Amino acid sequence: MRYLVLALLAALAPASAAYSGDIVQYWVEQSGALVNGTTIGSLQSPVSAWYQAIVQAAVYEAAVKSRGESLAFQQLAVSHAAHNAILWAFHGTRIYNAADAALRAVVPAIGLNVTSNDGKEAIRVGQDAAAKVARARAADNIANFIDYVFAPATPGVYQQTPGSNPLPDVPQARFIAPFAALGDITRFRAPPPPKTNSAEYETAVLYVKEYGSLNSTARTAYDTDTAYFWRESSVTGWNRFAHSVVGIALATEVVESAKFYAQLNYALANAGFASWDTKYAYNSWRPVTAIQRTADRWVASGRDVSDAAWVPLLRPTPSHQDYVSTHSTFGGAAAAVLRAYNGGSDAVRATLTSNVTIDARGPITRQYSNLTVAALENAASRVLGGIHFPFAGSAGVAVGDAVARATLKKFDEHWDEF
Ligand SMILES: *[C@@H]1O[C@H](CO)[C@@H](O)[C@H](O)[C@H]1NC(C)=O
Ligand SMILES: *[C@@H]1O[C@H](CO)[C@@H](O)[C@H](O)[C@H]1NC(C)=O
Ligand SMILES: *[C@@H]1O[C@H](CO)[C@@H](O)[C@H](O)[C@H]1NC(C)=O
Ligand SMILES: *[C@@H]1O[C@H](CO)[C@@H](O)[C@H](O)[C@H]1NC(C)=O
Ligand SMILES: *[C@@H]1O[C@H](CO)[C@@H](O)[C@H](O)[C@H]1NC(C)=O
């Protein structure tokens, strides 16, 4: 019967990702898909993580509050928590039909009569959980206006990049209250990037210019795929990486599954805020701005590194500063949480498919056997894509790792201090 319901679900509800039986994974997927650019337009990096952390906070709260109830009760409670948290975060948008469809699609597989007393109680637990998180996050600074003024276009200073927004994205994201009462986010700030007149900087510019350009002849086909493979939203991608590591091991352990995904998404969100703090602290220019600069010979050796027509493989360059790479920060954070889940071991067996929309590349599937390598490849992907300097990647991974480990330390005591 359960299989019949699942088959029907797959046939009747193409809008919903396949349901593995792990209700938490289902809602991680659904909330990712709902903001993937189709329904409400894509989200800036820190906001995409903020949102998923809110959904997973509500899910974990509902799971904890329904501990000891039947599996179906817990699944229904979690589903309403996720649904309401999603709608709270985006209640001014056209997301209702899709969010309702995602809930409607999974109820038959849960199998609890929603009009029975148990069903009604589960729904109330879920709704209360979402409301509690919404109240706690109502004034978390994400809505505040923070202005940005461009600094003079001297070497190293951020300027608008071709095809990007007139102003850099979400300056307020560095002030969002972190999850799990992490405290002052500035203590995770990366050390300054190398000076633009250093030999190290010159090496970095020449590297990105050669390997990151659209028509690079130095970059291998595999490395081009590396840039493509990791290009999607990191929050979506690393949650899918987590599904591959966890599999269906926690499908009947709703509290454990909810705890793991809350840890992962809190760490991602906090990492996003820390990355933004570093970006705005140093306000560093992107490779495309450095390479297209023809005004002067600014590198250490005095040679001409400019190419006014240079175009990166990944385009447009995202609308915010180079240092640090948030993609890399997310990867460092996710790897740290997965390593903790793994009992400290770096070894995993993960198979991941990324459906690449740029340049009509289509789906790429890769396998990973260790987390450190995956996080470093993710960081390298942004350099091979021509949108980050290598030092922005390595520093980003380190920031993400530190933030995630601090978030995990705080989690058990403070997870519900949103
Ligand atoms: C976004 O989600 C929708 C609905 O689940 C799906 O049809 C679409 O393929 C997704 N698009 C991307 C780019 O992931
Ligand atoms: C669901 O519960 C309601 C209220 O107890 C009951 O009237 C209804 O018959 C139940 N539906 C099913 C399919 O069991
Ligand atoms: C890159 O190659 C494509 C196709 O060969 C060409 O149309 C394009 O002008 C090139 N772009 C640059 C920046 O060289
Ligand atoms: C990949 O995305 C494209 C464009 O959204 C879509 O047409 C295609 O069906 C997707 N492929 C897979 C395997 O999901
Ligand atoms: C991770 O992979 C790298 C490269 O494949 C390898 O050198 C390293 O030993 C691996 N570490 C573990 C713990 O598997």
* DSSP sequence for 22-33: -HHHHHHHHHHH
Nearest Cα residue to atom 8 of ligand 3: 215
Tell how far the Cα of 365 is from the centroid of ligand 4, in angstroms.
13
**Ligand 1 atom with the shortest distance to the CA of 34:** 2
Entry pTM: 0.94
What pLDDT, on the 0 to 100 scale, is given for residue 2? 40
What pLDDT, on the 0 to 100 scale, is given for residue 17? 57
Tell how far the Cα of 391 is from the centroid of ligand 5, in angstroms.
22
**Ligand 1 atom with the shortest distance to the CA of 33:** 2
Dig out the tokens for 393 from the structure. Answer: 């990647």
The 3-state secondary structure of 170-236, one letter per residue: CHHHHHCCCHHHCCCHHHHCCCCCCCCCCHHHHHHHHHHHHHCECCCCCCCHHHHHHHHHCCCCHHH
Tell how far the Cα of 369 is from the centroid of ligand 5, in angstroms.
8
Buried b (16+ CB within 10 A) or exposed e, 164-174: beeebbbbbbb
Q: Tell me, what DSSP letter sits at residue 294?
A: -
pLDDT in single tens digits along all 418 residues of the chain: 343 334 333 333 333 457 889 999 999 999 999 887 777 778 999 999 999 999 999 999 999 999 999 999 999 999 999 999 999 999 989 899 999 999 999 999 999 999 999 999 999 999 999 999 999 999 999 999 999 999 999 999 999 999 999 999 999 999 999 999 999 999 999 999 999 999 999 999 999 999 999 999 999 999 999 999 999 999 999 999 999 999 999 999 999 999 999 999 999 999 999 999 999 999 999 999 999 999 999 999 999 999 999 999 999 999 999 999 999 999 999 999 999 999 999 999 999 999 999 999 999 999 999 999 999 999 999 999 999 999 999 999 999 999 999 999 999 999 998 7
What pLDDT, on the 0 to 100 scale, is given for residue 41? 76
* Distance in angstroms (rounded) separating the CA atoms of residues 42 and 183: 28
Nearest Cα residue to atom 2 of ligand 1: 33
Q: Which ligand is nearest to the CA of 368?
A: 5
What pLDDT, on the 0 to 100 scale, is given for residue 332? 98
For ligand 5, say whether the CB of 347 is within 6 Å of any of its atoms: yes
What pLDDT, on the 0 to 100 scale, is given for residue 14? 34
Q: What is the CA radius of gyration of the chain?
A: 22
Nearest Cα residue to atom 5 of ligand 4: 357
Q: How far is CA 71 from CA 21, 78, 80, 150, in A?
A: 11, 11, 14, 54
- Sequence length of the chain is 418
Dig out the tokens for 292 from the structure. Answer: 């297209």
Buried b (16+ CB within 10 A) or exposed e, 23-41: bbbbbbbbbbbbbbeebbe
